[in-house]
Amino acid sequence: MTPGQRGNRVLVLNSGSSSVKYQLLDMAGPTRLAVGLVERIGERGPGLLRHTPGEGDTRERELPVPDHRAALEAAAGELAADGLGLDAPELAAVGHRVVHGGRSFTEPTVVDDAVLAEIERLVPLAPLHNPANVAGIRTAMALNPDVPQVAVFDTAFHTTIPEHAARYAIDVRTAEEHRIRRYGFHGTSHAYVSRRTAALLGRDPAEVNVIVLHLGNGASASAVAGGRCVETSMGLTPLEGLVMGTRSGDIDPAVVFHLARVAGMSADEVDALLNQRSGLAGLCGDNDMREILRRVEEGDGEARLAFDIYIHRLRKYIGAYTAVLGRVDALAFTAGVGENAAPVRAAAVAGLTGLGLEIDERLNTARGRGARLISPEYARVAVAVVPTDEELEIATQAFALVGV
């Protein structure tokens, strides 16, 4: 390597309050050099580290991890044992997933003190996530001050949503004072999947309109016109929109006042109800779609109703986003449920031939891992299954920013 040149490696960090997920990628491929997870950071009892090298078996061990620094040091130790150093210049960048970038961050950004201060200023909008993201960035900076740290924001892809879709119809001054608007989340996934869908069609992203359904434990839909996001289902927080594993999604906000007045519930109690004890779990006791599908097969009425409510909401969003886009070229399913649950995909578009949507049931149920089409050739709208890869997208954005 000549002086001043950077290597091809990017470390991606997703720091939560009690866990850190990491991946080391070589962007020349790109290839995944290692994947790992440190859990139970700062909790009583030992932490857990799980590390899988690009080739070779997963290693798992318990260890003390009082804080994020200990977690990252342990991860660096595992990588070093595989001969993978984290020093500049081989390591070109560390890419950090940051949940909330507010309106300040529309693009991936190299972190300096001002950027860190701004991410901290956004903590009231993402009290559970941004502090952990900041802890991860600070730790990585301290451990390796020579490597550029790049923040990649979950909200950034949605900053192109026009005002008429991003604003709530509430008093303007109150909204402005408290920064209340629709920000959207899962942006890295929506960006990656919409671009990958265009590639699957052999077309330039600038030419195609795509509806992306990111259906994981958290779930969101987006409408992407010519590569730019114009609408998404999550709002001020990830609670709005689709029915999710444990979140209600859309609900009449008056339910909150009703519960406060009639049931005497506090704001925190209603928050916990809607975020943790609602959605599929609230409706039938299970939040895992595999389990729900199994119960539906057995004729379980509660699971059936939960499934039907989930699907009904999904279909409403498909219809709404068809109207938002005017012309839809593709509908893409992604994340754990979207990639794996053929019955969900089939039910989501059943009878929507009027919107140009149709699924070839043989293609829908065929085993496959990569991005693939599941609509018949003659269908007006292509329906696709596109595995998401948020870590690759973060690495790609970080690498493009620091250059070589």
Residues marked as binding?
14, 21, 97, 214-218, 288-290, 336-340, 390
β-bridge pairing 20-26 and 31-39 = antiparallel
CB of 117 to ligand ADP, least distance (A): 29
249 lies in the site for ligand ADP, by CB under 6 A:
no
Nearest residue to ligand ADP on Cβ basis = 336
Q: How far is the CB of 310 from ligand ADP (least distance, A)?
A: 10
Regarding 216 and contact with ligand ADP (CB under 6 A), the answer is: yes
- Does residue number 187 form part of the binding site for ligand ADP (CB under 6 A)? no
- Measured from the Cβ of residue 18, the count of other Cβ atoms closer than 10 Å reads 16
What is the token pair recorded at 212? 């992306």
Please state the residue numbers annotated as binding site for ATP. 21, 214-218, 288-290, 336-340
Question: Is 218 near ligand ADP (CB under 6 A)?
Answer: yes
Q: Which is nearer to ligand ADP, 47 or 245 (CB)?
A: 245
Rounded-to-integer distance, Cα 373 and Cα 354, Å: 19
Residue 293, sorted as left (phi over 0), alpha (psi -120 to 50) or beta, turns out to be: alpha
308 is a catalytic site residue:
no
| String of contacts with ligand ADP for each residue 114-153, x by CB under 6 A | ----------------------------------------
Q: Are the beta carbons of 193 and 220 closer than 8 angstroms?
A: no
Cβ-based nearer residue to ligand ADP, 216 or 227: 216
- In the annotated binding site for substrate, the residues are 97
Q: Which of 39, 73, 82, 288 binds ligand ADP (CB under 6 A)?
A: 288
246: contact with ligand ADP by CB under 6 A = no
Pick the piece of the chain touching ligand ADP (CB under 6 A) from 113-121, 155-163, 215-223, 307-315. Answer: 215-223
160: exposed, middle or buried (C-beta count within 10 Å: 0-12, 13-18, 19+)? middle
Residues in contact with ligand ADP, counted by CB under 6 A, come to a total of 13
290 binds ligand ADP (CB under 6 A): yes
SS (H, E, C) the chain: CCCCCCCCEEEEEEECCCCEEEEEEECCCCEEEEEEEEECCCCCCCEEEEEEECCCCCEEEEECCCCHHHHHHHHHHHHHHCCCCCCCCCEEEEEEEECCCCCCCCCCEECCHHHHHHHHHCHHHCCCCHHHHHHHHHHHHHHCCCCCEEEEECCHHHHHCCHHHHCCCCCHHHHHHCCCCCCCCCHHHHHHHHHHHHHHCCCCHHHCEEEEEEECCCEEEEEEECCEEEEECCCCCCCCCCCCCCCCCCCCCHHHHHHHHHCCCCHHHHHHHHHHCCHHHHHHCCCCHHHHHHHHHCCCHHHHHHHHHHHHHHHHHHHHHHHHHCCCCEEEEEHHHHHHCHHHHHHHHCCCHHHCCCCCHHHHHCCCCCCEECCCCCCCCEEEECCCCHHHHHHHHHHHHHCC
CB of 264: closest distance to ligand ADP in angstroms? 32
Shortest Å distance, C-beta 290 to ligand ADP: 4
Tell whether residue 289 is a contact of ligand ADP (CB under 6 A).
yes
Tell me which stretch binds ligand ADP (CB under 6 A): 270-278, 287-295, 304-312, 366-374: 287-295
- Pick the catalytic residue from 87, 112, 154, 252: 154
In the complex with ligand ADP, which residue's Cβ is closer, 95 or 218? 218
Residues 329-368 that bind ligand ADP (CB under 6 A): 335-337, 340-341
Q: Is 217 in the site for ligand ADP (CB under 6 A)?
A: yes
| Shortest Cβ 344–ligand ADP spacing (Å) | 7
Does residue 245 bind ligand ADP (CB under 6 A)? yes
Nearer to ligand ADP, 195 or 345 (CB): 345
* Binding site residue list for Mg(2+): 14, 390
Where does this chain touch ligand ADP (CB under 6 A) — which range of 17-25, 162-170, 214-222, 358-366? 214-222
Active site residues: 154
Question: Which residues of this protein are in contact with ligand ADP, per CB under 6 A?
Answer: 216-218, 245, 287-290, 335-337, 340-341
